[in-house]
Amino acid sequence: MPDGAASLRHRPHGVLAVFGPYNFPGHLPNGHIVPALLAGNTIIFKPSELTPWSGEAVMRLWQQAGLLPGVLNLVQGGRETGQALSALEDLDGLLFTGSANTGYQLHRQLSGQPEKILALEMGGNNPLIIDEVADIDAAVHLTIQSAFVTAGQRCTPLAHRPAFLRPPFIAEKWNAGRCISCSPGCRQPAVNAGHLG
């Protein structure tokens, strides 16, 4: 802009709610918490009702790091707590990681309030198409690993339709899948996936 002046101003949005997921509960909420704090916002953090202790641990770590009291606040509870929190009139935004059903509900609830930030991270679908593979054993191994690592409790496993897979791959995958051992990760010999109790 040779003949003009430009300026860039950053300002906090205000009070943001962060709803954390049950999978990777000590990690994924920070994808919302850290940028919100860096931008100068105050946060109300509601971890998943399935992982309340992880939420407590996240709070302790932030306190130990020197975050001032009242900047990051913890609220525990389930659906009713989330609904009450998302309905707060003074809330300036909501940052959510979780199921598509809950995300759609939050979208409908906040759709008439364009002044509020709404960030939704809702699952994933990573399609797998196998055509010709030079190393079928490696392809099978990586496919199974994607499906079963973390006992399948991720939003990013590979999903596939048999129509997109070649018969040799399907046969190899079937044989390899039958050999998967599931038990707690501390067992020996090594296991392929943990189980859900």
- Catalytic member of 115, 121, 132, 172: 121
Q: Enter the tokens of residue 78.
A: 């389930």
Straight-line distance from the first to the last Cα atom of the chain, in angstroms, rounded to the nearest whole number = 62
Residue type, 163: A
77: left (phi over 0), alpha (psi -120 to 50) or beta: left
Q: Which two tokens stand for residue 128?
A: 């797998």
Tell me the torsion sign for CA atoms 176, 182, 186, 187.
negative
- 80 catalytically annotated: no
Q: How many C-beta atoms lie closer than 10 Å to residue 110's C-beta?
A: 19
d(CA 19, CA 195): 26
Residue 25 CB partners (closer than 8 Å, separation 6+): 47, 48, 51, 54, 55, 58
The SS3 assignment for 95 reads strand
Q: Are 30 and 20 in contact (CB under 8 A)?
A: no
- Active site residue ranges: 121
